[in-house]
Structure 1
Amino acid sequence: MALQPWRKGIVTRIENETYNTRRFWIQVPELESFDFAPGQFVTLDLPIHEKPAKRIRSYSIASWPDGTNVFELLIVLLEGGAGTTYLFNEVKEGSELTLRGPQGVFTLPDSIEKDLYFICTGTGIAPFRSMVHHIKRHNIPHQNIHLIFGTRTQKDLVYVSELKQLDTEMENFHFLPTLSREQWDGCCGYVHAIYENLVREKMNGNSEPPPANFYLCGWKAMIDEAKQRIQGLGYDRKAIHQELYG
């Protein structure tokens, strides 16, 4: 795909999702429709440094293609982070942003013939929200989809009511939020035990793991550990797709 030009974006809406996470809706006025594949990201050129390379920040698109020229980003405020500090403190509704996109190959397969495991932490849920809504909206045939979302506590959960609703409405979609530092009525612990248990249940004592693709989005430590564990279950490296944050 050819590299997209830099364009002007207008922030049309901002909402707090949690105590440290915000949703930003951005319109691209020069386009009638901002077309992208679920899972792709946009790059922002923020006025935070003289050197261009230190101004660039990339964020996965949290919304899904809907034929409009508006898309949504989900952004967490990072302590000491120049980019997110600017976005939280300086950007208001009506603010202009310089952006490029869509970009990226972290996208759905052309045909969903295997189980999908979407494994994420924090705002790494953004591309998976896009993918799941896209699948539902277009009635795309699919096998089991397990969205395993890890956060520390309930106050860190994002899109939780919406995704729980999808879990009830969408056949073969399973939303599994898990908390690592708080007991609650859902899954507890880290994401790794969740997908390992699901795979082992399906193996049912067999040596070969069932056909599946694994999509990982989040911090490097989580992704590195997941890649080792998934291959330890017997999967080939080609079954693993990743989008690294930070």
Structure 2
Amino acid sequence: MLDLWHTGIVTRLVDETHNTRRFWIRIPEMDRFDFKPGQFVTLDLPIHEKKNKRWRSYSIASHPDGTNEFELVIVLLEGGAGSTYLFNEIKVGSELLLRGPQGVFVLPATLDKELFLICTGTGIAPFRSMAHYLHEHAIPHQQIHLIFGCRYEKDLLYASEMQQLAAEMPGFNFIPTLSRQEDWTGKKGYVHGVYEELLQADKRPANFFLCGWKAMIDEAKQRIVAMGYDRHDIHLELYG
């Protein structure tokens, strides 16, 4: 199943921020596209002769809803062949060759510990999928802290949607933190200060899911272990 490639049709495009775009993709040959929140798909883009240099993987940003359509959110990387192609060439009605779902960056079967979902940039995609899935299915859980690091408010993805979810979903906390915006009244600085502050009073049982750039993930791993947690409590999905 995993090695099967499917043809997806782009059904909708929306610019979410100045450098990110949301892509809705439908797979006509499937009645429903089933995946676990946190999984990704791989696109085969016509940008190189060698297969492995054409492949780009993206976390699914939507939650499984029983349809054959899903959403990706993609950042335009300067000099990035894959994202440049997707932004410049792909229109509504374009076809994309893809395979998936793949990946083991998924929630534990029982959510008996607090969850810290820590991300930067488009790393929010798998956590958006997880949060909506838990809410839709009323799955019991402990406190969930979605800590989202960006430079400026204009970089925040799905912010109003996540605030709405936090208002509706008991035990779900959305904590955006900005590293460069002076007039921001919310959390400032990097994501690390946020989870350290939340856990400084007591080191209660927790699972940490990290998604984003390598530098953030490397530092978070070191800090979480330094706080006394086991590395098995840490799950990660690396971007770039």
Q: Secondary structure at the match of 1:108?
A: coil
Amino acid in the other structure paired with 2:180: R
Secondary structure of the residue that 1:128 maps to in structure 2? helix
Cα-to-partner distance string for 1:165-202 (whole Å, 9 max, x where unaligned): 1111110000000000013111100000000000113x
Say whether residues 1:243 and 2:237 are aligned partners: yes
Q: Structure 1 unaligned segments of length 5 or more: list them.
A: 204-208
Provide Cα deviations, 1:5-52, integer angstroms capped at 9, x if missing partner: 001000000000001000000000110000000000000000000111
The number of aligned residues is 239
Write out the 4+ residue segments of structure 1 that deviate beyond 6 Å after TM superposition.
none
State the distance in 2 between where 1:53 and 1:115 align: 38
What is the DSSP-based 3-state SS (H/G/I as helix, E as strand, rest coil) of the residue aligned with 2:160? helix
CA distance in 1, matches of 2:15, 2:127: 20
C-alpha separation in 2, matches of 1:25 and 1:191? 29
Number of the residue aligned with 1:198: 198
2:95 aligned with 1:96: yes
Question: Normalised by the size of structure 1, how large is the TM-score?
Answer: 0.96
> Would you say 1:114 and 2:108 are equivalent positions?
no
Measured against aligned partners, the alpha-carbon deviations of 1:203-230 in whole angstroms (never above 9, x if no partner) come to 1xxxxx2100000000000000000000
Question: C-alpha deviations, 1:40-72, integer Å up to 9, x for none?
Answer: 000000000011111000000000000000000
Distance 1:106 1:53 in 2: 22
Matched, 1:86 2:85: yes
Q: Is the 8 A contact 1:4 1:102 kept in 2?
A: no
TM-score by length of 2: 0.99
Q: Displacement, 1:4? A: 3.8
> Are residues 1:154 and 2:153 paired?
yes
Equivalent residue number for residue 9 of structure 2: 10
C-alpha RMSD of the superposition: 0.6
Amino acid at match of 2:195: Y
Letter of the 1:75 partner, please give it: I
Counterpart position of 1:165: 164
2:223 equivalent to 1:223: no
Q: Deviation of residue 131 (structure 1)?
A: 0.1
Determine helix, strand or coil for the equivalent of 2:98: strand
Cα shift readout 1:98-142 (whole Å, capped 9, x = no counterpart): 000000000000010000000000000000000000000000000
